[in-house]
């Protein structure tokens, strides 16, 4: 009998393997783990999956094609990094501009006297009457004012559920288009708002736009990017977010110098510019091959894949996408599927990572930077300029992350950033507690105020090359296709929920906890850093459809993964 190429010391076992595979079709990617048959020293022949690539390919062909290498290593598909995929990802990443601009513009506008006097007169009067005998920690404490900021995130939280269905049924591109249109309308309403109700309605539409964009853009980038550059290209979203924050700071600084009473209108209305950029960009973009396969458009998926990989030889990658899609279609309800034990690590990451991202306290800086700087003694222009400086640091630090994430990996950046954030937050809290005082009646000298600004910049830099971009990158690359849209919706929803909570409670917490608020956030960072140490695996360079291997190798999460090893007895047959 002719020796089979499939197993060392076995004959014609590929036929048996094929039969068994058909009986166990539910076991995903059967050959991704090496299995050995009889124990060493047994009289039975050892059935080890062949190490030779040629023998593996021959076995795969006899067993029906499509079997991946089973030595536990990930695949490396054909192709190269093309200018087309770079340009496509850069255009898609502009979806982060709307998120960043809104984060940056909100804090600046809420520190402008003209805006406060028109819509929040009680806060305006409280600010103007604050003196050395009044607690300055509490001068901006107003639930109506925080509702203006946080209403966007309630809308984003709700809209992300609908964004998941749109993204899965109509593609990532459609969600980006809808999000851009909603943000455009919201910015127009805010620009002409005459009362608080119009402001809130505009903010809700902005939230819908951000919800759809944050659902679709990270998925789009992860699916389009080649594995070796997925981290850097996906971080284009965070880079666009930081640019949006920085530009919003510049706009606020410029409009804050206008004393005609309409400077704030210019700031909020200019949100239409990033919305227009994303909407027009989305029109020109192709949809991702994964999404096209998911919707049954395989020819289009192949053509797109060939274009972004720069080669006609994309069959292996395409077939893996098709298999992943077929598995996904067996799941009628991805929301219940994600609760199953084998998806436990994905669910934990979908909740923990975006939650921790917000519990770093970054929104203390990004939302309310001008308000915070004004509270501790900076003047109007100085507080807005300080926000610009921290925004510029944010942009440059994000470029560091883009340059290093695919070289050093995700965990290194997570851990270094965590340590740096803890040190800077503890130092800021200590300085404010000692010299500004819990009574809020102290005053920082120019030197100490500048030191606080420098420490805040150190903190922003740490966040910008760790939890900022990685908080979006890691969740977007870990989900299998059958729960990908649902998983990303959970990520965005959790992010918006905790963003809302912090935005709603920050000014009140600042009033009651004073400088201790910075120590509280430092404690959160310690917890999340330990979470990374023990529970977050490295995903650098792993193809998105092969991420299951990462969980199977992890010391803790492997117990939740389906065991797709085949025992020797299952393959034994009579001679």
Distance CA 78, CA 305 (A): 11
At residue 222's C-alpha, the angle toward residues 464 and 489, to 5°, is 80
Compute the residue count for the chain: 575
15-24: Cβ within 8 A, 24+ apart: 15/62, 16/571, 16/573, 17/59, 17/63, 17/571, 18/62, 18/63, 18/64, 20/566, 20/570, 20/571, 21/63, 21/64
What is the pLDDT at residue 233? 85
User: For 288, left (φ over 0), alpha (ψ -120 to 50), or beta?
Assistant: beta
- For residue 75, the 8-state DSSP code is P
Per-residue pLDDT, averaged over 154-163, amounts to 88
Give the pLDDT band of residue 181 (cuts 50, 70, 90): very high
- For residue 32, the 8-state DSSP code is G
Torsion of CA 369, 373, 376, 381, to 10 degrees: -150
Q: What percent of the chain has pLDDT over 90?
A: 27
What is the pLDDT at residue 19? 37
Distance CA 433, CA 90 (A): 43
Give residue-wise pLDDT tens across range 510-561: 778 888 888 999 999 999 999 999 999 999 888 887 888 899 999 999 999 8
Distance CA 538, CA 470 (A): 12
Distances (CA, A) of 490 to 53, 147, 237, 354, 486: 39, 23, 18, 9, 6
Distance CA 297, CA 334 (A): 21
Per-residue pLDDT, averaged over 17-38, amounts to 39
Give the pLDDT band of residue 396 (cuts 50, 70, 90): very high
Give the pLDDT band of residue 269 (cuts 50, 70, 90): very high
Give the pLDDT band of residue 55 (cuts 50, 70, 90): very low
Distance CA 135, CA 132 (A): 8
Q: What is the DSSP string of 457-470?
A: HHHHHHHHTTHHHH
Residue (of 310, 369, 332) closest to 109 by Cα position: 369
Distance CA 425, CA 402 (A): 24
Torsion of CA 366, 370, 375, 379, to 10 degrees: 160
Per-residue pLDDT, averaged over 503-514, amounts to 78
Distance CA 212, CA 252 (A): 26
Range list of β-strands (E), 226-317? none
Question: Among the listed ranges 346-355, 456-465, 488-497, 558-567, which one has the minimum average pLDDT value?
Answer: 558-567
Residues near 3 by Cβ (< 8 Å), separated by ≥ 6? 11
Q: What is the DSSP string of 362-418?
A: HHHHHTTHHHHHHHTT--HHHHHHHHHHHHHHHHHHHHHHHHHHHHH-HHHHHHHHH
Q: Does residue 10 carry a pLDDT above 70?
A: no
The rounded Cα 313 to chain-centroid distance in angstroms is 31
Distance CA 111, CA 221 (A): 35
What is the pLDDT at residue 57? 41
Distances (CA, A) of 380 to 143, 506, 512: 22, 20, 24
Q: What is the DSSP string of 155-167?
A: HHHHHHHHHHHHH
What is the pLDDT at residue 114? 86
Give residue-wise pLDDT tens across range 473-503: 899 889 887 888 889 889 988 988 998 888 7
What is the pLDDT at residue 528? 96
Give the pLDDT band of residue 376 (cuts 50, 70, 90): low
Specify the residue for token string 């690359």: 477
Name the CA radius of gyration of the chain, rounded: 27
- Exposed / middle / buried, residue 430 (Cβ in 10 Å: 0-12, 13-18, 19+): middle
- Is the distance from CB of 444 to CB of 376 less than 8 angstroms? yes
Sign of the four-CA dihedral 303, 308, 311, 317: negative
User: For 27, left (φ over 0), alpha (ψ -120 to 50), or beta?
Assistant: beta
What is the pLDDT at residue 420? 96
Give residue-wise pLDDT tens across range 421-439: 999 999 988 988 887 766 6
Helical segments of 330-368, H only? 334-337, 344-359, 362-366
- b/e code 387-396 from CB counts within 10 Å (16+ = b): bbbbbbbbbe
Distance CA 62, CA 164 (A): 39
Give residue-wise pLDDT tens across range 101-114: 988 888 788 878 88
What is the pLDDT at residue 134? 57
Per-residue pLDDT, averaged over 334-360, amounts to 92
Give the pLDDT band of residue 450 (cuts 50, 70, 90): confident
Q: What is the DSSP string of 286-298?
A: PPPHHHHHHTT-H
**3-class DSSP assignment, residue 438:** coil
């Amino acid at each position: 009998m002719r020796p089979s190429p499939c197993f060392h010391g076995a004959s014609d076992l590929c036929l048996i393997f094929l039969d068994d595979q058909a009986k166990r079709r539910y076991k995903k990617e059967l050959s991704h783990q090496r299995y050995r048959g009889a124990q060493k020293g047994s009289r039975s022949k050892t059935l080890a999956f062949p190490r030779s690539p040629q023998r593996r390919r021959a076995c795969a062909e006899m067993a029906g094609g499509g079997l991946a290498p089973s030595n536990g290593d990930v695949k490396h598909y054909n192709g190269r990094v093309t200018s087309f995929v770079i340009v496509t990802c850069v255009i898609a990443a502009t979806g982060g501009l709307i998120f960043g601009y809104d984060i940056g513009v909100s804090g600046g506008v809420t520190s402008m006297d003209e805006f406060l006097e028109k819509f929040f007169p009680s806060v305006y009067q409280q600010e103007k009457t604050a003196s050395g005998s009044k607690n300055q920690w509490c001068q901006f404490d107003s639930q109506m004012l925080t509702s203006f900021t946080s209403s966007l995130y309630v809308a984003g939280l709700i809209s992300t559920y609908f964004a998941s269905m749109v993204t899965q049924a109509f593609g990532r591109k459609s969600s980006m288009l809808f999000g851009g249109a909603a943000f455009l309308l919201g910015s127009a309403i805010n620009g002409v708002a005459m009362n608080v109700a119009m402001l809130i309605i505009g903010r809700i539409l902005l939230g819908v736009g951000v919800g759809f964009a944050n659902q679709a853009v990270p998925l789009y980038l992860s699916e389009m990017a080649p594995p070796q550059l997925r981290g850097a290209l996906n971080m284009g979203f965070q880079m666009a977010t930081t640019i949006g924050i920085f530009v919003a700071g510049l706009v606020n600084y410029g409009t804050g110098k206008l004393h005609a009473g309409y400077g704030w209108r210019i700031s909020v209305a200019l949100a239409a510019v990033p919305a227009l950029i994303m909407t027009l960009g989305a029109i020109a973009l192709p949809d991702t091959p994964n999404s096209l396969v998911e919707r049954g458009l395989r020819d289009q998926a192949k053509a797109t894949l060939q274009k972004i990989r720069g080669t006609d030889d994309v069959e292996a990658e395409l077939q893996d996408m098709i298999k992943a899609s077929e598995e996904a279609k067996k799941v009628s309800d991805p929301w219940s599927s994600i609760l199953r034990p084998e998806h436990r690590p994905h669910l934990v990451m979908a909740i923990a990572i975006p939650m921790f991202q917000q519990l770093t306290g970054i929104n203390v800086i990004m939302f309310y930077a001008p308000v915070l700087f004004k509270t501790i003694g900076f003047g109007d222009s100085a507080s807005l300029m300080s926000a610009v400086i921290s925004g510029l640091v944010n942009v440059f630090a994000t470029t560091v992350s883009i340059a290093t994430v695919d070289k050093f990996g995700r965990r290194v950046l997570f851990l270094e950033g965590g340590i740096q954030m803890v040190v800077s937050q503890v130092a800021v809290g200590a300085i404010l507690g000692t010299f500004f005082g819990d009574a809020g009646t102290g005053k920082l000298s120019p030197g100490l105020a500048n030191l606080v600004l420098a420490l805040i910049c150190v903190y922003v830099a740490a966040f910008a090359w760790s939890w900022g971009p990685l908080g979006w990158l890691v969740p977007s690359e870990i989900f299998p296709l059958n729960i990908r849209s649902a998983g990303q919706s959970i990520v965005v929803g959790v992010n918006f929920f905790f963003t809302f909570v912090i935005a709603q409670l920050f000014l009140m917490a600042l009033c009651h906890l004073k400088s201790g608020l910075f120590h509280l956030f430092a404690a959160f960072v310690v917890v999340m850093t330990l979470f990374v140490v023990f529970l977050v695996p490295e995903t650098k360079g792993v193809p998105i459809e092969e991420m299951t291997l990462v969980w199977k190798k992890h010391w803790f999460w492997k117990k939740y993964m389906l065991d797709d090893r085949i025992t020797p007895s299952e393959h034994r047959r009579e001679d």
